[in-house]
A and B are shown apart, each in its own frame.
Chain A
């Protein structure tokens, strides 16, 4: 199988990674969240008069807990993607191997779900 697309994607990611390492070691950029920066702009525009109309019901008590929950979110997602791509791949290989596909495709499709 051709790996051209993989190489292109890897190259794109590496360019941005290299740019990040270079910039984070030569400048003192803070790398804070863009979502949070907005608060400053809103206070700027309204002259500091804006009061949020609601507060979050619950906030992660620390940065560590927040990372935990973000990590959990990514792990759940990655697990599901890996599981189903692996499931499809194995199924496709087996179908090809034993020539099952042509015989009872519709039946085994139903059973497998």
Chain B
């Protein structure tokens, strides 16, 4: 999902910066306010950020015979919303760009847009819709995080296709080529990410559901039901 350093020509890398920067700034603003109002969420924020750190460092083999990595952004998106997740993702992406030559500083805007914005927004919307529909909580977390992960890789394919339209067939033809690498490789990884995210959520609900209820992430009645099931 990382677009490598230098692999987005002008004007595309500037365009993605222009799109991402306002979201990151809004995220920083929201984060400051949240931390000021509720200091007790800090450990949870650290856990969500650390989860992105772990998952985005694991390059896993996929059925296509190549490796890719999950994003881990779904948990943060569900707990804190997409804007704050964009800030957390930016930190991880800068680390990887500076120390691992993974992604890059010119492509940072595009990578933040796919991993920190589109993926989390998709995860967040699926989570809200799923909870409204009264589906099983862990199933909703699984779906939200898996599709969020997958949406990130589809977005990367779109970003590359826009920057490199094929001579015959244009943007759509190149999208098919990029998606063949990213979107297909990512399917099993997205499933694994969804499963592991659901598991982490189970542990957080077990030990610290009151903060989640207070932040309106999950309703008291759902917690009681989950406790009842797992007791």
Contact = CB atoms under 8 A, between A and B. Distances in A.
Interface in B172-211: 174, 177-178, 181-182, 185-186, 188, 191-192, 195-196, 198-200, 202-204, 206-208
B191 to A, nearest CB: 6
5 contacts: A5-B199, A27-B65, A33-B68, A34-B185, A73-B95
A60 B192 contact: no
B22 interface: no
Nearest first, the 4 A-B pairs at minimum CB distance are A29-B65, A52-B6, A77-B53, A77-B54
B98 A77 contact: no
B7 interface: yes
Interface residues on A, range: 35 or more
Interface string B24-45: 0000000000000001101110
A110 to B, nearest CB: 8
Contacts of B3: 35, 38
Nearest to B231: A1
Nearest to A80: B50
A52 B4 contact: yes
B143 interface: no
Contacts of B56: 73
Interface residues of B, number: 77
A58 B104 CA distance: 10
Given A41-B178, A92-B208, A74 B58 contact: yes
B70 to A, nearest CB: 12
A12 B192 contact: yes
A25 interface: no
B181 A84 contact: no
Given A33-B59, A109-B40, A39 B7 contact: yes
Interface string B47-66: 10111111011110111111
Of listed A6, A13, A73, A79, residue having the most chain B CB within 10 A: A73
A54 B116 CA distance: 23
The dominant DSSP class at the B interface is: helix
Interface in B90-107: 95-102, 104-106
B207 A88 contact: yes
Contact of B166 (A6, A39, A45): A45
Nearest to B157: A38
Contacts of B9: 50, 53
A38 B178 contact: yes
Given A23-B65, A45-B177, A35 B2 contact: yes
Given A2-B230, A53-B13, A73-B57, 9 more contacts: A16-B191, A19-B63, A19-B188, A34-B182, A58-B99, A73-B95, A77-B52, A78-B50, A81-B54
B164 A13 contact: no
